[in-house]
Amino acid sequence: MAGIKDYYETLKSIEINGKDIVSAGYVSQVYVDSGRLFVKLNIPQEFMKHAKAIEETVRRLFKERHNIQDVQVEIKPKMQITPPKLQTTSSQNIFNPQRIPGVKRVIGVGSGKGGVGKSTVAVNLAVKLAQKGYKVALFDADIYGPSVGTLLGTKGQKIRVTKEKKFLPVEAYGIGVISFASLLDEDTPVIWRGTMFHKVYQDLFFNTIWSEDELDYLIIDFPPGTGDAQLSAAQQVIIDGVVVVTTPQRVAIDDVRRAINAFLKMEVPVLGLIENMSYVIDTCGNKLHVFGKGGGDILSSETGLPLIARIPLDPEYLELSDQGKPMVTQEAKNENQRLIHQAYEEIASFISRRAGV
């Protein structure tokens, strides 16, 4: 039976101005609800005059290829977030990012503010991709609250250095981990300046043996918001895309919008949004929106970015997570947990589809 992946393949055969609509990032959502297929597109304003023709093409293709009659197509203009030109010093551009030798794709995980579960998402995405057979490493760049060590149970383990002065990541759940925390004394207050970031990042990115052979994905857990860490990384390394984690509260929207715009200014593509702690299913099967509702949807329709997944909140998984047992390595014993697994499955598939290794 055809699934969402096949539907994306079908959408790929539609081109606007010589680019297929999937690769161009115009497809914001494809899902099935109550037997009906929903296809949501966000296209640049200048192509809106073709909206009717695109809608008809979508309907026709799904009818022809998948025998689906009931397709709900929604086409909206994409919010124009054109990144302003980067600041240049005299004639020299300060941005000269490079590929890390032996690393195929670099994916960042960011957030508007702390405490939304950004590190949890980075850790579980990395482990999930490794479970799918990819070679994965995680770079914990969140120096203000490095929690990757706690979430992976690697706290206190130090990065080893080879005779050739190369770093060797700590291993956990099939992924390699490099953390700022491993370089610092836990009680040392961190007062880092831009230049220090730059030097340490350069060392860690380019002097680490990320994998014995090629690494498929390097996931970066960025600090919340935007600052020197993001800037320094984007100046040195080609980041293939970031996902931004938010919670459903509407009050968080401004922070997330700022984070998205900062990434775009640095010419880092934003691939989509993840809404974490979206809801809890109680024992009677009711969906409780404990942290409010709507934040992810509003941001998605405002920015045209896909809402990749909504991850429920689960108190038992919170405890296990904080004991160093990532959610995706645990059995699902209730509906929340089952939906958390499903959400990470969706996020990992989205990444491999968009960043394609």
Name the site residues for ligand ADP (rule: CB under 6 A): 111, 114-120, 145, 147, 276-277, 311, 313-314, 317-318, 321-322
Cβ distance to ligand ADP smaller for residue 270 or 311: 311
Least distance CB 143 / ligand ADP (angstroms): 12
Least distance CB 332 / ligand ADP (angstroms): 13
Cβ distance to ligand ADP smaller for residue 119 or 208: 119
Least distance CB 97 / ligand ADP (angstroms): 24
Least distance CB 127 / ligand ADP (angstroms): 13
Cβ distance to ligand ADP smaller for residue 232 or 321: 321
Cβ distance to ligand ADP smaller for residue 46 or 322: 322
Give the residue carrying structure tokens 């922070």.
Answer: 255
Cβ distance to ligand ADP smaller for residue 42 or 226: 226
Least distance CB 54 / ligand ADP (angstroms): 36
Least distance CB 255 / ligand ADP (angstroms): 12
Cβ distance to ligand ADP smaller for residue 160 or 250: 250
Question: In this structure, is the dihedral angle defined by the CA atoms of residues 217, 221, 222 and 224, taken in order, positive or negative?
Answer: positive
Least distance CB 3 / ligand ADP (angstroms): 25
- Nearest residue by C-beta to ligand ADP? 117
**Exposed/middle/buried for residue 19 (C-beta within 10 Å: 0-12, 13-18, 19+):** exposed
Tell me which residue of 89, 34, 39 sits closest to 60, measured CA to CA.
39
Cβ distance to ligand ADP smaller for residue 147 or 211: 147
> Do the beta carbons of residue 244 and residue 116 sit within 8 Å?
no
